[in-house]
Amino acid sequence: GQEKGVENCAYCNDYGCKKLTEFFDMVPQSKDTLEEIRKGL
């Protein structure tokens, strides 16, 4: 998110990019957190 100037990946137009999906593989609970943020957008 920082590279694209957004607060976190939930706010990114490229949500679900390869970098993020690889992160979800390492930290699965982060997906739930980001999905909750996206619901509120």
- Number of domains composing the chain: 1
The token pair at 4 is 């694209």
Please tell me the distance from the alpha carbon of residue 15 to that of residue 7, in angstroms, as a whole number.
13
pTM for the model stands at 0.79
What pLDDT is stored for residue 11 in this prediction? 95
What pLDDT is stored for residue 5 in this prediction? 92
Please tell me the distance from the alpha carbon of residue 40 to that of residue 3, in angstroms, as a whole number.
22
Instruction: Tell me how far apart the terminal alpha carbons of the chain are, to the nearest angstrom.
Output: 16
What is the span of the domain harbouring residue 29? 2-39
Q: Reduced to 3 states, what is the DSSP secondary structure of residue 8? A: coil
What pLDDT is stored for residue 21 in this prediction? 96
Please report where in the chains the tokens 């998110």 appear, as a residue: 1
What pLDDT is stored for residue 30 in this prediction? 96
- 1-33 tens-digit pLDDT: 788 899 999 999 999 999 999 999 999 999 999
What pLDDT is stored for residue 1 in this prediction? 73
